[in-house]
Amino acid sequence: MRSSNQTLEEILTLAAAHFKVAREKLAPDDDFFRTLGLNSLQTLELLTRLEHHFRIELPDYELQGVSDFRTLAERIQARL
Amino acid sequence: MLNLDQYSCLGEALRDAVDRWGDETCLIESDRDRERTRLTYSDFKELALPLARALEDAELHAGERAAIIMSNQSKWLISAYAIFYCGAVLVPLDYKLTAAEQLQLLAHCKAKFAIVEYYLWRTMMQSPDLKNLKALVLVTEAPLSADLANGFRWEDFRRKGDPVFVPRKREDVACIVYSSGTGGRPKGCVLMHENYLEQCKSLTTWYPFWPGVRYLSILPTNHAIDFMVGFIGPFVCGACVVHLRTLRPEFVRDAFVRYKITHVSLVPMVLKNLERGLRAKFEALSGIKRFVLDYFIALNKSFTRARPNPKLSRRLLPQIHKAFGGELAAMFTGGAFMEPSTLEFFYELGIPVANGYGLTEAGTVLTVNDLKPFRADTVGKPLPGVELRILNPDSEGIGEVAAHSKTVMSHYLDDPELTAETIVDGWLLTGDLGRFDGKGHLQLFGRKKNMIVTEGGKNIYPEDIETAFEGVPVKEYCIFAANYLWPEKTLGREMLVIALRLEEGQEFASALKDEIVSRNRRLPDFKRVGGYLVWEKDFPRTASMKIRRAVLAEEIGKSRERTAVSEL
């Protein structure tokens, strides 16, 4: 079982790869709408990639109101 | 379709629709690639009537209010049907609001019942505002072990025996729809049965549905457009509504093919996303394939100049149409935000996008493109029964759009002052600036009022956002839409600006900026403030110390340029 920190780190790495930015430019408390300039559709695309990676299903509502990587990691960790 | 002239209320029309179209498929609900629900109109009735009976037994009376807070799904429509069957007033609330906002609106509309999806109720139960909730709550899809506080399981809330249908008159209230405004002043549009019946009649005159139509419901059903085009319209015509539990782009694309979708409504953002995807695919084609594609697109364009020809377009561009399921007849989109190039892109592929314009206060839609011929540069012509006027036009013919129609709401709930400002002598003042071209099409040029509409179709009122900045260490502040301060004849470049009045001798230090940025980040992305400006004078205020926004906006607009706004 992954630790919360591992989950968070993997999410940051995947987000960096998915949106083609350097990993070191992303921090856990970054607001991904702002840091990555994303809209809600693009964050849904990231969700799909995370689902494949963690082999879980995340309902869309898990992302409702979430705008930083740390909270996203908490939601994913709860389903692992 | 049903002859809507013979009905006095939505409940009656829906009741007859489920009887008339009994064996037709009415609802399909899919989660990813798993189909969860498929109902005929008869199945729908069997599910809805026991709920209506239980609501009646729980004393939901005619004219009382019942709210629904759910993402798009069959239970939404079943619940709405049952509420109308009881003669009650439906209050569709936005499931994307925060729990505090939802509880605030439930209190504002004095809901007697609230039908809430479990994941939303889970959050509402943790809210300190829950103690003020007076409504009886029915919770859908709650796990059996879940603690629902005082809520009841929706699935268990049903009674045997036929409910008594409660008729309403056309002038009775059908729905209260909040057009936004969750801050100090909720704007609850009170819409009558007449508004909906007339809106449905006029829309289906231009865009009829029939059994066999499969409408993909993506816009939230609480939104006026999906409520009309993804519920009332399809039902009175015997069409089928497809709901998706997962709105990820890849599953939406699959749904077009799996369910051979014929009609869909989309916000500009989704349409642009589809366009981007297709353009990327076109770019990736090899030279000769791209040449052939461009040739057939040009051919299709020349054959569909006067009006769409779906059969021909599907033959000329089969691969593209297959990707959309092969039966897509029209996509609807709302708003001035839509870039003409996106509309043209799809039309040239043989997929008509009917761009329209409307607001909750006007029922749903005031104008829509009739595709005869297709126009990408307008929001179409007024629907049958809709009269539009341009008030105080300038030298270019541009002025405020005012509407007169049987679809216009009765009033704002508990707000006679705002109602009087908005509906004057029977004309709804839209706050939007527009003009008619020589062919009777409406073109929009900007907004007169202090609000913005996002690409995702959300109305944002700056006043509602100010509470997020309470306690910021400045003397006073006020939030405006940039286009309200500096009117432009465009709907682009919309952003929110916070005007700050600092304390005497205070400097705009980085700590202050950090505080504002931090507060801003707590807001949903579509509500965030984009820039700030420091204002050197005290804000003008009324005798009751409210900021005189219009006066302040005029002063700022006159003495500063838009370039004075610094980015946050």
Kindly list the domain boundaries of chain A, sorted by start residue: 4-77
Question: CB contacts < 8 Å between A and B, how many?
Answer: 43
Fold assignment, B4-258:
Rossmann fold (3.40.50)
What's the pTM?
0.86
Within 8 A of B270 by CB-CB distance, chain A residues are 41
Beta strands across the sheet bearing B136-140: B152-153, B136-140, B113-117, B65-69, B89-92, B173-178, B188-192, B411-412
CA of B212 vs chain A CAs: smallest distance (Å): 29
Q: What is the mean pLDDT of residues B397-409?
A: 95
In a mutational test of the B interface, the residue from A29, A39, A63 whose CB has the highest number of chain B CBs within 10 Å is A39
Q: Are strands B34-40 and B25-31 parallel, antiparallel or unpaired?
A: antiparallel
Within chain B, all domains assigned CATH 3.30.300.30 are found at 460-567
Q: Give yes or no for a contact between B357 and B380, defined as CB atoms under 8 angstroms apart.
A: yes
Lowest mean pLDDT among B180-184, B294-298, B433-437, B546-550: B180-184
B249 contact residues in A (CB cutoff 8 A)? 41, 44-45
Residue B33, chain A, CB below 8 Å: the answer is: no
3-state secondary structure of A76: helix
Q: How confident is the model at residue B448 (pLDDT cuts 50, 70, 90)?
A: confident
Using a CB–CB cutoff of 8 Å, tell me whether B518 touches chain A.
no
Range(s) for CATH 3.40.50.980 in chain B? 4-258
Q: Any CB–CB contact under 8 A between B30 and chain A?
A: no
| Tokens coding B164 | 């008594």
Interface of A with B (CB under 8 A): 31, 33-34, 39-41, 44-45, 47-48, 57, 59-61, 64-65, 67
Mean pLDDT is lowest, of B1-5, B276-280, B296-300, for B276-280
Residue B383 has pLDDT above 80, yes or no: yes
Of B98, B246, B455, the CB nearest to A60: B246
* Chain A residues whose beta carbon lies within 8 Å of the beta carbon of residue B120: 61
Under an 8 A CB cutoff, do A44 and B249 touch? yes
Contact A65 B98 (CB under 8 A): yes
**Inter-chain CB proximity A60 and B273 less than 8 Å:** no
What is the per-residue pLDDT across B139-171, written as a single tens digit (0 to 9) for each? 999 999 999 998 999 999 999 999 999 999 999
CA distance B473 to B180: 28
Strand pairing class (B89-92; B65-69)? parallel
Contact check, Cβ <8 Å, B71/A47: no
Q: What is the pLDDT of residues B54-64, one digit of tens each?
A: 999 999 999 99
**B460-567 topology per CATH:** GMP Synthetase; Chain A, domain 3 (3.30.300)
Task: Note the pLDDT tens digit of each residue in B305-317.
Answer: 999 999 999 999 9
Question: In this structure, which long-range contacts are made by residues B484-489, counting pairs with CB atoms below 8 Å and at least 24 apart in sequence?
Answer: B484/B447, B484/B449, B484/B450, B484/B451, B484/B553, B485/B553, B485/B556, B485/B557, B485/B560, B485/B562, B486/B557, B486/B561, B486/B562, B487/B433, B487/B446, B487/B448, B487/B557, B488/B446, B489/B398, B489/B433, B489/B445, B489/B446
Range A4-77 classified under CATH 3.90.25.10: no
- Tell me B214's DSSP state: E
Best of A49, A60, A63, A66 to disrupt the B interface by mutation (most B CBs within 10 Å)? A60
Assigned fold of B267-447: Rossmann fold (3.40.50)
Using the CB atoms, write b or e for B94-122: b if 16+ within 10 Å: bbbbebebbbbbbebbebbbbbbbbbbbb
Among B178-187, B263-272, B502-511, which stretch is predicted with the lowest mean pLDDT? Answer: B178-187
B249 contacts A34? CB cut-off 8 A: no
